[in-house]
Chains A and B, each alone.
Chain A
Amino acid sequence: MSYDVSLVRKDFPILEREVRPGVPLVYLDSAATSQKPLRVLDAMRDYNERHNANVHRGIHTLAEEATALYEEARTKVASFVNAPDRREIVFTKNSSEALNLLAYVLPLGPGDEVVITEMEHHSNIVPWQLACARTGATLKWIGLTDDGRLDYADLDRVITDETKVVAFVHQSNLLGTINDVEAVTTRAHAVGAKVVLDGSQSVPHLPVDVAALGVDALAFTGHKMCGPTGIGVLWARLELLEELPPFLGGGEMIDIVTMEGSTWAPPPHKYEAGTPPIAQAVGLGAAVDYLNELGMPAIHEHEAALTSYLLDGLVAVPGLRVIGPRTTESRGGAVSFVIDGIHPHDVGQLLDESGVAVRVGHHCARPACLRYGIPATSRASLHLYSDTNDVDALIAGLDKVRSFFG
């Protein structure tokens, strides 16, 4: 295989550190946030050291350089998800802001229905609850099967002629499940609904092609794809961005302002009020370059093999139950689990003593936890720099956890 994870790891200085003397870091919390390669850090530092200025506002040299770098990042991101037009990429603060933006501007009213799923992150639940409360629309959801999949048999019942928006997650942050976008989109479009996809956990890990997926909008975030925090992305079809009203008002998003009223800039600037996260956009552009060089298919293949290794290791731990699909079929490398008689908090605390960083809690997906009758899980999640040593350290750490509480 050409994918050499030991070389990849050298790009991430943080993976060299110890959490305490003699205890090396084993980072298995990439679904919460990914680590950043040197070149992303370098790109942001170079921007701030040499090119920093506000964008779209000045005619001096630095302003033009900053604008060019910012817009170049947009072009890179557009190409990364195969957007037909670079004006379809709106920079936001994170996925949550992108989803809130859509929930705010998509037209809804009494009698309309919004459909989500029971495995959504809170960021794809709460904005729609707020939108429904504001507009009088009704929120419905697609349930889950016992093995952690969407209940596709329920699609036709839940998505009806009243459905105006179907918003769902591409890859679940809690269960790791990769959903069948085509099945949901086909049904949604058959009733004339708009399809919003939460790609926070998919865009960093597998090739995502918005043209091929056929959805109407996609939200994702920089910091889970080896980029910095503080920048997210909304992709939406150009005609939608042209038709829909603005979200936030302010500088940059206007065409003409008088005291009586204003007109809007064309997309994407219409949705980018105020000074945007410029250095972060530059960092995200560098992250996209990095991902492209490794190749998303190769990254996906590496993570799929490692996910299989992780699942095999976990399933062999006595008293451990994986919450979500137990095979690598249509699942990513975020694996939640519970251990009989040991609360996830205690699991996470004891793993930290071995240097192993996992996430514990409900992972901002409390309804899905309730669905499976658990208050919380421990979650190990992989990324392009994860390796079998990480998994081995986790499994060894879990043995210690069990003997401590056994």
Chain B
Amino acid sequence: MTTPAARSAPNPQLETLYQDIILDHYRNPHHRGLREPFEAEVHHLNPTCGDEITLRVHVDDGIVADVSYDGQGCSISQASASVMTDLVIGKAVPEALELHDEFLTLMQSKGELEPDEEVLEDAIAFAGVSKYPARIKCALLAWMAWKDATAQAVHSEAADNDGGGS
């Protein structure tokens, strides 16, 4: 009960949801803003609550060279986007996809899984979200958008030698 949040949030359950890491990323998001170059841009939304994200992926030589995004949504969805970009940028696509799978497994764990900080880094802060069924989609929004965009980017890179379409 020593975190700043503890003063105004007496319920310990709540702190497992709103970890300081999440609030920090929410207040100061990393890699936010839409950038060029990119091979794919997607727009995903969470129809039940109105969270939205526009996300671009730049894949260069099989590496996730950049992920840029813009959107609006709750602290969980926005912080998750920020944490995700820290994790996947610079990774080879298959390795980044493994991180996606790892995070998805964590979100489906109903709070029963001890996440591996070596692998998921700041994303372990979302472990508590898995106990809140209504919020899991928030945490997954950016990851789903990234997976979708990356699949498109890889596809366009594969078919690339004569340039992408519109």
Given known contacts A362-B49, A362-B50, A376-B50, A345 and B11 CB-to-CB distance under 8 angstroms: no
In residues 3-41 of chain B, which contact A (Cβ within 8 Å)?
5, 8-9, 11, 13-14, 17-18, 23
Given known contacts A362-B49, A366-B50, A375-B52, A346 and B5 CB-to-CB distance under 8 angstroms: no
Q: Is the CB of B50 within 8 A of A369?
A: yes
In residues 371-406 of chain A, which contact B (Cβ within 8 Å)?
375-376, 400, 403-405
Complex: chain A residue closest to B45, CB-CB:
A375
Q: Is the CB of B18 within 8 A of A345?
A: no
Contact of A361 among B48, B52, B77 (CB under 8 A): B48
- Which residues in A have their C-beta under 8 angstroms from that of B9? 350, 353, 400, 404
- Which residues in B have their C-beta under 8 angstroms from that of A369? 50
Complex: chain B residue closest to A347, CB-CB:
B74
> A343 in the interface, Cβ–Cβ < 8 Å?
yes
A76 to B60: give the CA distance in the assembly, Å.
70
Q: Is the CB of A345 within 8 A of B14?
A: no
A349 to B131: give the CA distance in the assembly, Å.
13
Q: Is the CB of A346 within 8 A of B74?
A: yes
Q: Is the CB of A375 within 8 A of B8?
A: no
Q: Is the CB of A343 within 8 A of B75?
A: yes
- The A interface is mostly helix, strand or loop, or mixed, namely helix
> A360 in the interface, Cβ–Cβ < 8 Å?
yes
Q: Is the CB of B8 within 8 A of A403?
A: yes
Task: Choose among A400, A403, A405 the residue with the greatest number of B CB atoms under 10 Å from its CB.
Answer: A405
Interface residues on B, range: 20 to 34
> A176 in the interface, Cβ–Cβ < 8 Å?
no
> B62 in the interface, Cβ–Cβ < 8 Å?
no
> B51 in the interface, Cβ–Cβ < 8 Å?
yes
Contact of B49 among A345, A353, A403, A405 (CB under 8 A): A345
- Which residues in A have their C-beta under 8 angstroms from that of B49? 344-345, 360-362, 376
Task: Choose among B48, B49, B52, B78 the residue with the greatest number of A CB atoms under 10 Å from its CB.
Answer: B49
- Which residues in B have their C-beta under 8 angstroms from that of A360? 49
A59: shortest Cβ distance to chain B, in Å? 48
Q: Is the CB of B72 within 8 A of A345?
A: no
- A-B contacts at CB below 8 angstroms, number: 58
Task: Choose among B49, B50, B77, B132 the residue with the greatest number of A CB atoms under 10 Å from its CB.
Answer: B50
A237 to B58: give the CA distance in the assembly, Å.
61
B132-146 vs A, CB cutoff 8 Å, 1 = contact: the mask equals 100100100000000
- Which residues in A have their C-beta under 8 angstroms from that of B72? 343, 375
- Which residues in B have their C-beta under 8 angstroms from that of A346? 74-76
Complex: chain B residue closest to A369, CB-CB:
B50
Q: Is the CB of A345 within 8 A of B8?
A: no
> B90 in the interface, Cβ–Cβ < 8 Å?
no
A155: shortest Cβ distance to chain B, in Å? 30
Complex: chain A residue closest to B76, CB-CB:
A345
- Which residues in A have their C-beta under 8 angstroms from that of B111? none
Q: Is the CB of B73 within 8 A of A375?
A: yes
Q: Is the CB of B73 within 8 A of A345?
A: yes
- Which residues in A have their C-beta under 8 angstroms from that of B74? 343-346, 349
In residues 97-146 of chain B, which contact A (Cβ within 8 Å)?
132, 135, 138
- Which residues in A have their C-beta under 8 angstroms from that of B13? 353
B136: shortest Cβ distance to chain A, in Å? 12
A346 to B51: give the CA distance in the assembly, Å.
12
- Which residues in A have their C-beta under 8 angstroms from that of B78? 343
- Which residues in B have their C-beta under 8 angstroms from that of A362? 49-50
Residue contacts A-B, CB under 8 angstroms, 20 given: A343-B51, A343-B78, A345-B49, A345-B73, A345-B75, A345-B77, A345-B135, A346-B74, A349-B14, A349-B17, A349-B74, A350-B14, A353-B9, A361-B49, A361-B50, A375-B50, A375-B72, A400-B8, A404-B9, A405-B23
Report, nearest first, the 9 A-B pairs whose CB atoms are least far apart.
Answer: A345-B74, A375-B50, A376-B50, A343-B74, A403-B8, A361-B49, A362-B50, A404-B8, A346-B74
A residues lining the B interface (CB < 8 Å): 20, 343-346, 349-350, 353, 360-362, 366, 369, 375-376, 400, 403-405
Q: A344-B49, A360-B49 are in contact. List 5 more A-B contacts (CB 8 A).
A: A343-B72, A350-B9, A361-B50, A375-B51, A400-B8
